[in-house]
């Protein structure tokens, strides 16, 4: 098989890239190791920045998001028996975020790209590796029905997530990896109950962090900080709801509606960056190049900013024979990646219980008290939360 841009992975990065390139007449093939239903069944991110929402509109996959997505103009932070609201438009010249699940975004992109435009996406087709990334015709080696096959491309986009093979196809001496793990995880529940509050609540509590989020007016997504080695099997629905309520201000806990789980899962927390994000004709984008801890909801949004830069670089190459944007992709994407890595690390450090050392928790409370009383600090949090602007890239 041959294509212009071979894409590994049909998560949000791969699908969004394929869709944006397709609209410009550029040929792509996506190879995905799992089934379409499996990819759609993964419950992940829920908050999207304006930059990502605009990119989904540009991809002509934003119609349902604009109808069903919830505009959020702020978040709430609970700490030290207080509940404080942070107003985004006030601190960012009118910016807001949108609550619309990654599952819905993936569904909308699949519908537009595969069902309506006939885009080529092969499921249950695991990629084994990338060969010749430093030649003019790199190859993606994959398996289909037990047979080894090759996809010859002009370029390869590694959109295959943290555990993918594209990053691992690069010799160790050509890539720098930066990593920090955290000594806890997040236990999440998805349930068809109305959200406890119209806006998200992030709670710093002596028992550990908690987050009240949502997917719609009738579907809630809640998280509690848990031990790294904890298992979903250790938690009944009732045990989860009890623990969540204990970590919230009493008037919030009292109005919590509970119900059976649609899904429950544990996610580890990690900060990770691979540099550079381009190796000859292989380009990494999204989770294959970087991971943030979920606090602040930056993971999916970073995938979108990578694809913003990468799609423009490919379009400039095919439409105008320009290679300068391809050359600038890695450094430009990484500037924004590192800022999100910094914000997620800071927000994670501020909101979680690290150990039983009271010094750490007193410092957190002092910083939170400072934060909610300082216009400068509120501006810093708000402009990072709504999303730092994309750099001019043309």
Residues at the interface with ligand FAD (CB under 6 A): 8-14, 31-34, 39, 44-46, 102, 126-127, 159-161, 163-165, 267, 286-287, 294, 297-300, 303
**DSSP string of 346-372, one letter each residue:** HHHHHHS--SS-HHHHHHHHHHHHHHH
**Of residues 90 and 168, the one with the C-beta less far from ligand FAD:** 168
CA angle 24, 27, 28 (to 5 degrees): 115
The nearest distance, CB 283 to ligand FAD, in angstroms, is 12
Please confirm whether the linkage preceding 276 is cis (ω < 30° from 0): yes
Residue 290 annotated to the active site: no
> Is residue 17 within a helix (H) or strand (E), and if so which, with residue range?
helix 12-22
The two three-digit tokens of residue 342, written as one number? 């910094």
**In the range 183-212, which residues lie near ligand DHB by CB under 6 A?**
200
- Taking CB under 6 A as the criterion, the residue among 9, 51, 296, 387 binding ligand DHB is 296
- Residue 202 annotated to the active site: yes
Q: Active site includes 123?
A: no
Of 6, 11, 46, 185, which lies in the binding site for ligand DHB, with binding defined by CB under 6 A? 46
| Active-site residue (options: 100, 133, 202, 222) | 202
Q: Are 3 and 28 in contact (CB under 8 A)?
A: yes
Among 297, 368, 371, 378, contact with ligand DHB (rule: CB under 6 A): 297
Say whether 298 is catalytic.
Answer: yes
CA distance 299 to 151: 29
Q: How far apart are CA 115 and CA 99, in angstroms?
A: 25
Answer whether 290's CB lies under 8 Å from 336's CB. no
CB of 207 to ligand DHB, least distance (A): 19
- Catalytic site includes residue 22: no
Catalytic residue among 12, 294, 317, 353: 294
Catalytic residues: 72, 202, 294, 298, 385
Binding site for ligand DHB (CB under 6 A): 45-47, 200, 213, 221, 294-297
């Amino acid at each position: 098989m041959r294509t212009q841009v071979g894409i590994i992975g049909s998560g949000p990065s791969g699908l969004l890239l394929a869709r944006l390139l397709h609209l410009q007449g550029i040929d792509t093939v996506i190879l995905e190791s799992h089934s379409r239903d499996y990819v759609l069944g993964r419950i992940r991110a829920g908050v999207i920045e304006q930059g990502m929402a605009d990119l989904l509109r540009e991809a002509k996959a934003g119609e349902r998001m604009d109808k069903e997505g919830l505009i959020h103009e702020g978040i709430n932070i609970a700490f030290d028996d207080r509940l404080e609201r942070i107003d985004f438009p006030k601190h960012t010249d009118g910016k807001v975020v949108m609550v619309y699940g990654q599952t819905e975004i993936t569904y909308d992109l699949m519908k537009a790209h595969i069902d309506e435009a006939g885009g080529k996406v092969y499921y249950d087709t695991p990629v084994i590796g990338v060969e010749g990334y430093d030649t003019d015709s790199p190859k993606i080696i994959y398996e289909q029905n037990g047979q080894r096959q090759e996809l010859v491309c002009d370029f390869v986009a590694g959109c295959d997530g943290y555990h993918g093979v594209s990053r691992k196809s690069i010799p160790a001496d050509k890539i720098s990896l930066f990593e920090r793990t955290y000594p806890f995880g997040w236990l999440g529940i998805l349930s068809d109950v109305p959200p406890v509050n119209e806006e998200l609540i992030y709670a710093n509590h002596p028992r550990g962090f908690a987050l009240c989020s949502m997917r719609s007016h009738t579907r809630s997504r809640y998280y509690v900080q848990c031990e790294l080695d904890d298992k979903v099997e250790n938690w009944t629905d009732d045990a989860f709801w009890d623990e969540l309520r204990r970590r919230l201000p009493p008037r919030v806990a009292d109005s919590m509606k509970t119900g059976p789980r649609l899904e429950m899962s544990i996610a580890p927390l990690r900060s990770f960056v691979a540099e550079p994000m381009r190796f000859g004709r292989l380009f990494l984008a999204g989770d294959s190049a970087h991971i943030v801890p979920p606090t602040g909801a930056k993971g999916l949004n970073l995938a979108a900013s990578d694809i913003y830069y990468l799609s423009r670089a490919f379009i400039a190459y095919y439409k105008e024979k320009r290679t300068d944007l391809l050359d600038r992709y890695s450094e430009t994407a990484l500037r924004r990646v590192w800022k999100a890595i910094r914000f997620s690390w800071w927000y994670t450090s501020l909101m979680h219980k690290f150990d039983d050392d009271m010094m750490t928790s007193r410092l957190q409370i002092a910083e939170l008290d400072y934060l909610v009383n300082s216009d400068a600090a509120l501006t810093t949090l708000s402009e990072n939360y709504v999303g730092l602007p994309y750099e001019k890239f043309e």
